[in-house]
Amino acid sequence: MLTDRYDAIFGAWQDIWVRDGWRVQRHCATGQARAVNPAGARVASGTETTCLAYAKSAAPRATAQRAAILLHGLWNSPGIMSGIAQKLAAAGWATANIRYPSRRLPLAAHAQATSRVAAGLAEDGATHIALIGHSLGGLVARAAMAHAPQDGWNPASLVLIGSPARGSAIATRFQNLPGFTQIVGACAPALTQAGAAPIPPPTCPKTLVIAGGNGARGYNPLLPGDDDGLIAVAETRLPNHETAFTRVRALHKTLPLRPETIAACCGFLGI
């Protein structure tokens, strides 16, 4: 598990197709593709066309009409979203808990890859596709929706978990400090207040915003109002675009793991 987490954070492979644990991934530096089976073993490599053909023939055909794409945040891995993914899978949803090199590529590249995963789910028969993103993953999800019309899928719902919808005041404050971009990576601009502003609002029929906080002054004295230690509750809000909002007593890093978060997400999606 530690090796998987290390690879997710520091590795260079990005999911572009997922079905029943099978994945086709593209290397963000070389463009080479590989197919990976549910056990995590590479079973094919070469061009995207070759690897997609192999994976589609080897993976069991998906039949679920409801599907969800789960997106971890910066400096994280798919494991942080596994609790939600397991609940959805148990309810009969097709799940794509995707891996993306959060530090290696800019937001637009992650959004394009996510849209490709969604298109693959739609090709398999999914008619209801939900996107669930933690932190940076929520920004990726919103940006991916902009690609939906040309990629052939329709976003049905969105769950944002501790996502800096209006950008992060902390990222904005420290963006010009030496080493900030090296630490945060290529998505650093999107996390600032100015960088988050152009990201399109949700284009799906319903959106749930889940924020972390303690219901009072918050955990971080550098942030105004309530917060999860990194993102202020006010920074998670999307006025005129929220269907529902809930606050969970949790720190930013653990927010997707909290039972209250998982329950709120599943309840919103009708599970």
Q: What is the mean pLDDT of each run of 10 residues along the chain (271 residues)?
A: 57 95 97 97 98 97 93 96 98 97 96 98 97 98 96 97 97 94 94 97 97 97 96 97 98 98 98 93
Q: How far apart are alpha carbons 191 and 163 in whole angstroms?
A: 10
**For residue 102, is it within any domain?**
yes
Taking the C-alpha atoms of 171, 117, 158 and 265 in order, what is their torsion angle to the nearest 10 degrees?
A: -100
Q: Please report where in the chains the tokens 């918050």 appear, as a residue.
A: 218
Q: How far apart are alpha carbons 161 and 31 in whole angstroms?
A: 31
**For residue 13, is it within any domain?**
no
| Total count of residues recorded for the chain | 271
pLDDT computed for residue 63 by the predictor: 86
Q: How far apart are alpha carbons 49 and 55 in whole angstroms?
A: 10
pLDDT computed for residue 14 by the predictor: 97
pLDDT computed for residue 1 by the predictor: 42
Here the CATH number for the domain that contains residue 154 is 3.40.50.1820
Cα 11 to the center of its chain, rounded Å:
17
C-beta separation of 209 from 135 below 8 A: no
**For residue 155, is it within any domain?**
yes
Sheet of strand 22-27, all strands in order from the earlier edge strand to the far edge: 13-19, 22-27, 33-36, 42-46
- Report the number of distinct structural domains present in the chain: 1
**For residue 55, is it within any domain?**
no
**For residue 251, is it within any domain?**
yes
Among residues of the chain, what percentage have pLDDT more than 70?
A: 96
**For residue 158, is it within any domain?**
yes
Q: How far apart are alpha carbons 19 and 188 in whole angstroms?
A: 30
pLDDT digits (tens, 9 = 90+) for 175-209: 999 999 999 999 999 999 999 999 999 999 999 99
Tokens of 251: 């720190």
Distance set, CA 203 to CA 7, 42, 116, 207, 231 (Å):
32, 36, 17, 9, 23
Report the predicted TM-score, pTM, of the whole model to 2 decimal places.
0.96
User: What residues make up the domain containing 143?
Assistant: 62-268
Contacts of 57 (CB under 8 A, 6+ apart): none
pLDDT digits (tens, 9 = 90+) for 4-39: 555 666 789 999 999 999 999 999 999 999 999 999
**For residue 29, is it within any domain?**
no
Q: How far apart are alpha carbons 104 and 13 in whole angstroms?
A: 10
Q: How far apart are alpha carbons 17 and 35 in whole angstroms?
A: 9
**For residue 48, is it within any domain?**
no
